[in-house]
Amino acid sequence: MEKHYTVIGDPIEHSLSPGMHNAGYEALGINAEYQRFRVEPRYLAEAVEGLCALGFSGWNVTLPHKEKIISLLDRLTPEARRAGAVNTVKIHEGQRIGHNTDGNGFVRSVERKLDGFKGKKAVLLGAGGASKGIAFALAEQGMKVHILNRTPEKAEALVQAIHNEGGTATSGVFAPGAWLENVDLLVQTTSAGLHGEPFPFSIQGITEQALVVDIIFNPAETDFLLEAKNLGCLTLNGLGMLLYQGALAWEFWFGGQAPVEVMRQALEEQLLRRMIHK
């Protein structure tokens, strides 16, 4: 029997997830189809009922529904509960289970570039939804997490939540500082610079060989990443996080290992096609 999956969000037309998942189903001969549906916020509850009524086996959730969907679900995994957000839903024995693969997707995307996590220092720029999942996942790996946010109260609240889970975290000012000389992993999660304006500060003085990640993947190289590269850092954009959050969602639905290389290729091809058609 064919299984049905989808991603819901608003906007959704640019989602690369259908191409990535369908390529994986085809490669492994899985009888399933992955779609995408735009769901306006006011219709979220009806959409969830509809997906259940139509027999969907699971779905991904993207902006702006990641938090609102929680009240419509039966159970949350620890990852979703900690992040306070859901990006993956599975229907299991009639129950709607909410999960979050963003944080561990990020961890998987950097693990081959970092020589271990334990005791190393991660600095996160931003304390919004995206930062939260990543911060918990890195703390769970044993990293010391330092969070810098324009609104300091949000960074402090996140630090407190990480402490409550037994992790190590501190917060600081959203500005250059001593942290630059002593960082193993720097992660840019804010929307600063997203609309072409320069990033609010320079990271000159950063530890050479630090791994610097911007979770944006389009453009492939933000000004922030370009500066990091010019300063001798290893850089990564957000494509790996997108890939591995998808791979972990796959594994949550089907068990076994997702065909990561096929999925990566499908993502890259879609991005390339988009660049050509621009």
Q: Which of 66, 90, 132, 144 is catalytic?
A: 66
Q: Which is nearer to ligand ATR, 40 or 153 (CB)?
A: 153
Q: Does 97 bind ligand ATR (CB under 6 A)?
A: no
**CA distances for 235 relative to 87, 109, 125, 214, 246, angstroms:** 25, 12, 15, 8, 21
Q: Which is nearer to ligand ATR, 11 or 200 (CB)?
A: 200
Query: Which spans in the chain are helix H?
Result: 17-28, 44-53, 78-83, 102-111, 129-140, 152-164, 223-230, 239-254, 260-277
45 vs 254: CA distance, rounded Å: 25
In the complex, minimum distance from the CB of residue 108 to ligand ATR, in angstroms, rounded to a whole number: 19
In the complex, minimum distance from the CB of residue 187 to ligand ATR, in angstroms, rounded to a whole number: 11
In the complex, minimum distance from the CB of residue 63 to ligand ATR, in angstroms, rounded to a whole number: 7
* 189-212 b/e (C-beta count within 10 Å ≥ 16 → b): bbebbeeeeebeeebeebbeebbb
In the complex, minimum distance from the CB of residue 229 to ligand ATR, in angstroms, rounded to a whole number: 21
Distance of CA 166 to the CA centre of its chain: 22
Closest CA to 137 of 169, 102, 161, 86: 102
Residue among 27, 35, 72, 129 that touches ligand ATR (CB under 6 A): 129
In the complex, minimum distance from the CB of residue 189 to ligand ATR, in angstroms, rounded to a whole number: 5
Handedness of CA 223, 106, 103, 125 (dihedral sign): negative
Within 183-242, which residues bind ligand ATR (CB under 6 A)? 189-192, 200
| Active site annotation includes 144 | no
Residue among 128, 142, 198, 205 that touches ligand ATR (CB under 6 A): 128
> Total number of residues binding ligand ATR (CB under 6 A)?
16
**CA distances for 236 relative to 42, 66, 212, angstroms:** 36, 25, 6
Q: Which is nearer to ligand ATR, 62 or 265 (CB)?
A: 62
Q: Does 154 bind ligand ATR (CB under 6 A)?
A: yes
**Catalytic annotation, residues:** 66
User: Applying CB under 6 A, which residues contact ligand ATR?
Assistant: 126-131, 149-151, 154, 174, 189-192, 200
